[in-house]
Structure 1
Amino acid sequence: MQPELPGRERRRLRWSGLIQYLLLQAVIAAAGVLALLQSLPGPPAQYQLTAFQLTEAGIERAVALPYFSPLRNAMNDPPRFSGKFVRPAGEASRAWSVFLPRFTNGVEVTVNDVVILDSRRDPAANRPDRNTPVIAVIPASVLRDGDNAISIRLFIWGPITGFLDRIWVGPDELLRPTYDLRTLIFVTLPVVFSSWQAILAVILGIMWVMRRHEPAYGVLAAAMAVGVGQAFLQTPMGETPFSKLNVILISSAPIESGLVLTFALLFSGWKWQRYAWIIFIPGIVLALAGLFGSQALVRALFLILAVPMVGVSLLIMAVVTARSALQRQNVASFLLGCAVTIMLTCWIVDLLSVFQMMPNRIFTARLSYSAMLVAIGAGLTWRFARALNQVDGFAGRLVTQVREAEEKLKASFAREEERARAAALARERTRLMRDLHDGLGGQLVSIVALSERGNGSAEISDAARAALKDLRLVIDSMDDIGGDLMLALGSWRERAMAQLRPHDIALDWRAVTAQGLPVYPELRPWHVIQIVRLLDEAVTNAAKHADARCITVRIETLAGANGLKRGRITVEDDGKGFEIAPDGGAAGATKAARGLRNMRNRAARCGAELQLSSCAQGTHKGTRVRLTLPHRFPDSDGAVG
């Protein structure tokens, strides 16, 4: 039984949260109903007129205002309300007015058989979904002290039945404040909300263009744009070139409610499905009726399609927002759910007033809807701005982290550079030690050995000169030649000529190409010393063993197929030559073979190619050593030898 406890606990918490949410929405709905049942402040009661004689459909009877007419269309023979009011004596200096707070659809007011007001001249006051009040100042020439006759004709053209609220006739200074208050609430405030909607529609449209993966912004922007079009259009009183367009936009409530419902679904995480287009069918049918039908057809279909569609959309939105608020547990979903509850309450109260189940007819659903859209748009804009702030904060933190990482990398690079410098110094020190050991060290050992054996001074002198030559070679290799190997070869040429002169051997120096060898920026001292020692070995072998009379050195630059240049140094003598073994060494001469092997190792250390050819017979006797340099020298001495 223990494993089932968490599931039960989750169900209990879910039901508990649902009950709390529903109770809160019930409280909000009850508070909304109580607020809507409250009457707005009115002018002094002594100026109110409620008793009239009504002539409707040929029947005359006494009625009391407010009055709900059963007619949906009465233009040729509208209901006529006849009554009287009294202006006390001594009021001639004060302006008197007639104030009508609410009516459906249009009125014509006559005082003492003189028409002082016709609301049909103001199309903005004839919208059935508006609560537009009207006030008219009675000309002083029309009024008289004592009894005055007043007559009101109520024009009705649907889609709902006619209605006339209580009226007041009295001093303008006493009636005007109430008129201004109602104008502020039911005329100015909707215009302000519509203006906000227009601004937010543009902002949300731009946000959707920049963030196409969030279609909720675009859907809400479209809903707001439709609402703005409805707010600023006038009710057409006749057939004009633009009357059909006005009818379509004014009756586009189903399309607007469908867009808002789509936004709510997307906002709650729902993915758009193909069958969701069914939401817009009532709006499309109503638009087609306005385009190809008459105004009377549109008004009839409005009650059948638009009003139920708005109610169904609100109910679905209430369920969707409740589910989202309970699942996500966030403030945005909770506030949206509360806003939907308020709007649904206003819509139900409006519907009850249409069916004459409320004592008055003041429509608030449209006003609450505009307020809800403005609140939603402001909330989305605030969320977008907060997301931008979060992005900016993240970018700032990222910049700080990148800067810190850069500092760490710089420190690491500095340490690595120091290590590399130390390693390079260590390698150079090792190279110098090896070069001194291999060259100068060996020569000094020979000198010591010859001195101890007491041999002739000539051999000691030769060994000392060889040591001095090797020391000069090591020192010369340390010079900065800027990658130009020709400078090092120039010094070597002088030493080679001095070496060959006692043997009466000529040195023929030939630069085949004008530049000699290409410049190698990566050339290092140990590259130079390996190449020079290899050339020394080649010249020494020719002087000692070849019985040559001339040694030719050719220097040239080769252009490869890939466009990379390579240098080549060729040392060739006209001596007696020797036989080359299959392994590339000298056949039958162990010491010579070891020397040739050293030459190959030195070439390999530099990444160069060494080619050796020799001929002991014929007219082309002699030996040729050809060293082909790489197009780029290696960075480290990886060869052994």
Structure 2
Amino acid sequence: MRLGRKGCWRIGRSIAKLWLALLLLAIPPFARADEPPRNDYTAVHITRAELLSVTGTGYSLPPQQIEDTTLPSAGWKPVSLPYTALRELVPTASSGMRAVTDWYRIDLSGQPRTTQQRVLYLPRWKTLGHIAVYGDGVLLYQSHGSPVHNGYNHLLLLPLNATANTLSPKSVLIRVDRLRNSGSGFSTVWVGDEHALAWRYQSRQMLQVQLPFMGSAAFLAVGAFAFAVWLGKRRESLYLLFFAISAVAFLRMLHYYVGGSYLPISDEWFEWVTVASLLWLIVLIHLFLQRLHQQPSAWLTRLALGLTLACNVATLPHVSTSIVSLYLFTPLLNLAVLPVAVLIFAVNLRKALRAQLPEGRLVAGWTVFAVVFTSYDGLLQNNLVSPESVYTSPYAVIGLFFVFSFIMFQRYTGAFAEVGRLNTELVLRLRAREAELEQSYQRLRVIENQQMLNAERRRLMQDMHDGLGSSLISAIRSVERGTMNEAEISSVLKSCMEDLKLVIDSMESVDADLLLLLATLRFRLAPRIEGAGVALRWEVQPVPVLAWLDPNSALHILRIVQECVANVLRHTRASTICFSTETTDDGVCVVIEDNGEGFAVEEALRRHGRGLRNQQQRAQAIGARVSWESGSAGTRFTLWLPLQRDADAMKAPDPV
């Protein structure tokens, strides 16, 4: 899913409307210098005061009580609120610690005094020092912490008559310490009932402190999630950069939320963190955009890193002269960094737009707001605009959070969409491949069946030619010569029928069961044996399954056993023939014994053993062995069959 041009502009317009609404809510309308205080029954908006500036040589603690008579009577001047004391643009070492105490006197004598609780609401005070508030000369409030991080961005809402049955004061004195080189800012003041001013305080507190803090914290939380994603996908550096940007942005915004004496580190190091985090935020955004548009700028990266490292080293607390000089230098540094940031963003956005990257337009819209907001804060920090305003840089960071979160969300969901697309494509390719394999399998199966059929046909033809065909040809020639009588012809034809039956039996499936094969042979040969007046003893025992026993091997076994039985009936004059089986470690033995006349095995093999040699050749063809033991008590024939047959077991040619 990609963000189109219309979507980018729509989101940009929505963000612009949001920022404008926030600014309108955060910045109240300014009162004219000559506008008198306004009364609305319960609250008074004070836009005029008297100011007295007393020069000193350092900070001093505010006294518990102060009277107007103890202050110099000369020097008071009327001022319009909000009021700013401009700072020197280039601070000098000689004047760096010259302090000025500004006294703001607010006359409330025109307001009715009451014992009901009245509060003072001060939207903003900005100084490098402290503030104290007096009511009729009694100290009501004083800021705490260091002069640098004194909670300047926090609003004041304090009771003027907190003690029971105490009348509201006739005048309020506000004491503000500042350095001459730092300047200061003081907003308008509201005095009235708490319920009338609480909503103003809470609304501005939300816009000035709480909402920016929640946005920065949310940015950090989402960044932590991105870091967890990066731990699982180390190659996706965008997630790591997003986490680094969120962490640095959180550090950069800390000085807007914290203050007083609650800092876990020293003022010097905290100020250095705020300066360094701004520089690293710019560098990380540059790296993020560079990774986004895939068009690196080596010179720009070296420039950004070089300036960042140089500024980080130059502003280290142990390198700079003091925290005061660093704080005085910080606003000027922020303004000086702005052109460099604009250059970095301009180069990256130009490349993003050239690469037609939709997210580049969104970042471009954010950059416009970020530059405007940062420039405005730079003016506010240097006391060049009204202190009544709200810092807008935190809202630029919130905008950065939304923009970058949207980009990461697009990338995250895009990755899931890409995975889904790849999975769908893989399923389609797998189905197509399965269809191809199925077609190939069917073709191979047809070819294999044809090859098996051809092989079986050749085997049957060869066997019938060597056995049945040879016997029939011999019988035909004998009949033609007239050398055979009817009984001999009948015997030859019966032998041919037995051969044909053996061939048919070899085609039956025996499922590698030798006993089933022998049982089939017994069914075929038993009538012939018994017809010759020979008793048949069947002592076959269960034997292991022979996995290699196929129709071709079965025919060889049948031929070997048939030849053995034929030799017994033809030559030995035996009265008994016994079939048995034995199991050895590596094979199975089929044993055929008779009690007829023995014969010399070696001499028979050498002179007249054509049938015996055929048995040997057939046994060799299936990886088996045959042996004879013959004597006056009879002959023992053994056919040894292996349990497992090697691939080279059938290298010998078929017998002729």
When normalised by structure 2's length, the TM-score is 0.69
SS in 1 for 2:366: helix
Deviation at 1:193, TM superposition (A): 0.8
Give the aligned residue type for 1:463.
V
Give the aligned residue type for 2:413.
A
> Which stretch shows the higher mean deviation, 596-605 or 454-463?
596-605
C-alpha spacing 1:439/1:112, structure 2 compared with 1 (3 Å): same
C-alpha spacing 1:178/1:405, structure 2 compared with 1 (3 Å): same
2:491 is aligned, of 453, 458, 462, to 462
SS in 1 for 2:266: helix
Q: Distance in 2 between matches of 1:67 and 1:303?
A: 16
Q: Distance in 2 between matches of 1:543 and 1:247?
A: 116
Deviation at 1:384, TM superposition (A): 1.1
Q: Which residue pairs with 1:68 in the alignment?
A: 85
Task: Deviation per CA, 1:14-54: give whole Å up to 9, x if none.
Answer: xxxxxxxxxxx9xx99xx99x98999233875334234222
Task: Deviation per CA, 1:108-163: give whole Å up to 9, x if none.
Answer: 333433445545499999445x4x4434454494447xxx4332212347995322
1:528 is aligned, of 554, 558, 561, to 554
RMSD, aligned α-carbons? 5.4
Task: Deviation per CA, 1:235-283: give whole Å up to 9, x if none.
Answer: 5545x89342895388344135415523431441349999986566368
Q: Which residue pairs with 2:27 in the alignment?
A: 40
Q: Distance in 2 between matches of 1:245 and 1:640?
A: 102
C-alpha spacing 1:576/1:502, structure 2 compared with 1 (3 Å): farther
C-alpha spacing 1:631/1:155, structure 2 compared with 1 (3 Å): same
Give the aligned residue type for 1:42.
P
- Residue 220 of structure 2 corresponds to residue 207 of structure 1: no
Does structure 2 retain, via aligned residues, the 8 Å contact 1:99–1:168?
yes
Task: Deviation per CA, 1:294-340: give whole Å up to 9, x if none.
Answer: 75476357568x63785476245314422431442202233223323
Task: Deviation per CA, 1:381-412: give whole Å up to 9, x if none.
Answer: 33212322331343244345535654665576
Give the aligned residue type for 1:460.
I
C-alpha spacing 1:292/1:56, structure 2 compared with 1 (3 Å): closer
Task: Deviation per CA, 1:451-482: give whole Å up to 9, x if none.
Answer: 56553122113213312322342344345433
Give the aligned residue type for 2:75.
E
Does structure 2 retain, via aligned residues, the 8 Å contact 1:97–1:172?
yes
Q: Which residue pairs with 1:19 in the alignment?
A: none
SS in 2 for 1:381: helix
> Which stretch shows the higher mean deviation, 444-453 or 110-119?
444-453
- Residue 324 of structure 2 corresponds to residue 324 of structure 1: no
Give the aligned residue type for 1:153.
R
C-alpha spacing 1:343/1:215, structure 2 compared with 1 (3 Å): same
Give the aligned residue type for 1:41.
P
Q: Which residue pairs with 2:102 in the alignment?
A: 79
Q: Which residue pairs with 1:575 in the alignment?
A: 599
1:381 is aligned, of 383, 403, 409, to 409
Q: Distance in 2 between matches of 1:602 and 1:159?
A: 116
C-alpha spacing 1:480/1:418, structure 2 compared with 1 (3 Å): same
Q: Distance in 1 between matches of 2:396 and 2:421?
A: 36
Q: Which residue pairs with 1:583 in the alignment?
A: none
Give the aligned residue type for 1:482.
D
Task: Deviation per CA, 1:472-526: give whole Å up to 9, x if none.
Answer: 4234434543312244235546877877789999999999xx865x422342233
C-alpha spacing 1:271/1:479, structure 2 compared with 1 (3 Å): farther
Q: Distance in 1 between matches of 2:552 and 2:104?
A: 120
Q: Which residue pairs with 1:339 in the alignment?
A: 366
SS in 2 for 1:632: coil
Does structure 2 retain, via aligned residues, the 8 Å contact 1:546–1:576?
no
Does structure 1 retain, via aligned residues, the 8 Å contact 2:143–2:150?
yes
Q: Distance in 1 between matches of 2:375 and 2:408?
A: 27
Give the aligned residue type for 1:60.
G
1:225 is aligned, of 230, 239, 247, to 247
When normalised by structure 1's length, the TM-score is 0.71
Give the aligned residue type for 1:228.
F
Does structure 1 retain, via aligned residues, the 8 Å contact 2:537–2:577?
yes
- Residue 171 of structure 2 corresponds to residue 149 of structure 1: yes
Q: Distance in 2 between matches of 1:241 and 1:268?
A: 36
Q: Which residue pairs with 2:218 in the alignment?
A: 196
SS in 2 for 1:481: coil
Q: Distance in 2 between matches of 1:503 and 1:118?
A: 135
Give the aligned residue type for 2:357.
N
Q: Which residue pairs with 1:110 in the alignment?
A: 134
SS in 2 for 1:55: strand
Q: Distance in 2 between matches of 1:203 and 1:461?
A: 97
Q: Distance in 2 between matches of 1:405 and 1:341?
A: 53
Task: Deviation per CA, 1:346-373: give whole Å up to 9, x if none.
Answer: 2233223444444556432233123313
- Residue 276 of structure 2 corresponds to residue 254 of structure 1: yes
Q: Distance in 2 between matches of 1:610 and 1:274?
A: 85
Which residues of 2 match residues 88-127 of structure 1 at below 5 A? 97-105=119-127, 106-120=130-144, 126-127=150-151
> Which stretch shows the higher mean deviation, 35-44 or 313-322?
35-44
Which residues of 2 match residues 482-493 of structure 1 at below 5 A? 482-489=511-518, 492=521
Q: Distance in 1 between matches of 2:592 and 2:640?
A: 8
Q: Which residue pairs with 1:477 in the alignment?
A: 506
Deviation at 1:611, TM superposition (A): 7.0
C-alpha spacing 1:79/1:440, structure 2 compared with 1 (3 Å): same
Does structure 1 retain, via aligned residues, the 8 Å contact 2:149–2:267?
no
Q: Which has the higher contact order (CA 8 A, sep 6+)?
A: 2
C-alpha spacing 1:157/1:221, structure 2 compared with 1 (3 Å): farther
Does structure 1 retain, via aligned residues, the 8 Å contact 2:242–2:288?
no
Deviation at 1:222, TM superposition (A): 3.0
SS in 1 for 2:28: coil
Q: Which residue pairs with 1:608 in the alignment?
A: 623
- Residue 42 of structure 2 corresponds to residue 49 of structure 1: no
SS in 1 for 2:52: strand
Q: Which residue pairs with 1:15 in the alignment?
A: none
- Residue 432 of structure 2 corresponds to residue 395 of structure 1: no
SS in 2 for 1:79: strand
Does structure 2 retain, via aligned residues, the 8 Å contact 1:68–1:163?
yes
Q: Distance in 2 between matches of 1:163 and 1:346?
A: 19
Deviation at 1:55, TM superposition (A): 1.9
Deviation at 1:57, TM superposition (A): 0.8
Q: Distance in 2 between matches of 1:597 and 1:159?
A: 123
Give the aligned residue type for 2:84.
Y
Deviation at 1:344, TM superposition (A): 2.7
SS in 1 for 2:29: coil
C-alpha spacing 1:266/1:362, structure 2 compared with 1 (3 Å): closer
Does structure 2 retain, via aligned residues, the 8 Å contact 1:49–1:166?
yes
C-alpha spacing 1:389/1:494, structure 2 compared with 1 (3 Å): closer
- Residue 156 of structure 2 corresponds to residue 134 of structure 1: yes
1:365 is aligned, of 393, 414, 422, to 393
Does structure 1 retain, via aligned residues, the 8 Å contact 2:272–2:317?
no
> Which stretch shows the higher mean deviation, 350-359 or 566-575?
566-575
Q: Distance in 1 between matches of 2:218 and 2:145?
A: 28
